[in-house]
Amino acid sequence: MKRAVCVWLAAMAALLPAGGVRASACDAPAGAVPVMEEEREEARLTERDRAYLAAMIAANYGGEDYAAQTGIAAVVLRRVRGPGWPDSAAGVIAAFAREGEFLRPVTGHESARALRIARDAVRDAARGMDPTGGAACFRSVQDAEGFDLRFDDLREDASARAADRLLADCRVVCGRVGFW
């Protein structure tokens, strides 16, 4: 259900007027789906930065919702524009790698579909689409299996509980990615 709502919200963001809508942590309960925000300033990225960011998103988060991929791209772009962070997508991605994200290298074997979707997500984030409500950090739960797994638990149930615990403090959750 969350996945369908995230996709619906991403589609609805295109219909928002310039200036968009900003989500507040007080407006929605924990785990609520995001409200889109559009920024007026378009991120200045080279084609090489865009291609690298799209390839890294496809390699690491290609199975995530479109809204989650757009949110990841928006967080990276926010850091590129912000003070105190590297001024290139590659530099920001390297910083995230030190934090435990973007660990899978681009192999060139990513599916053409995943790469196309990631390119669209980067393009939309550069144009100002932001399903994170202004977040500067994210956490993914791609491998939540193995946490608190008991013999009488179903594997999916244990994985879902572990993911819920890991994303509990995130302001916005799309798919298996939390933003704050």
pLDDT at residue 3, as a whole number: 44
pLDDT at residue 162, as a whole number: 78
In this structure, what token pair is assigned to residue 87? 């001024």
pLDDT tens for each residue of 65-102: 999 999 999 999 999 998 899 989 999 999 999 988 99
pLDDT tens for each residue of 115-145: 999 999 999 999 999 999 999 999 988 754 4
Instruction: Find the mean pLDDT for residues 30-49.
Output: 53
Q: Which pTM value belongs to this model?
A: 0.70
pLDDT at residue 138, as a whole number: 94
Q: Taking the CB of residue 20, how many other CB atoms lie within 10 A of it?
A: 17
- Of the pLDDT bands very low, low, confident and very high (cuts 50, 70, 90), residue 32 is very low
pLDDT at residue 176, as a whole number: 87
> With 90 as the cut, is the pLDDT of residue 40 above it?
no
pLDDT tens for each residue of 150-169: 444 555 667 777 778 888 88
Instruction: Give, in order, the Cα–Cα distances in Å from 118 to each of 26, 46, 102.
Output: 30, 16, 14
Q: Which residues have a Cβ under 8 Å from the Cβ of 157 and sit 6 or more positions away?
A: none
Distance CA 89, CA 124 (A): 15
Domains in the chain, CATH or no CATH each: 2-179 (1.10.10.2520)
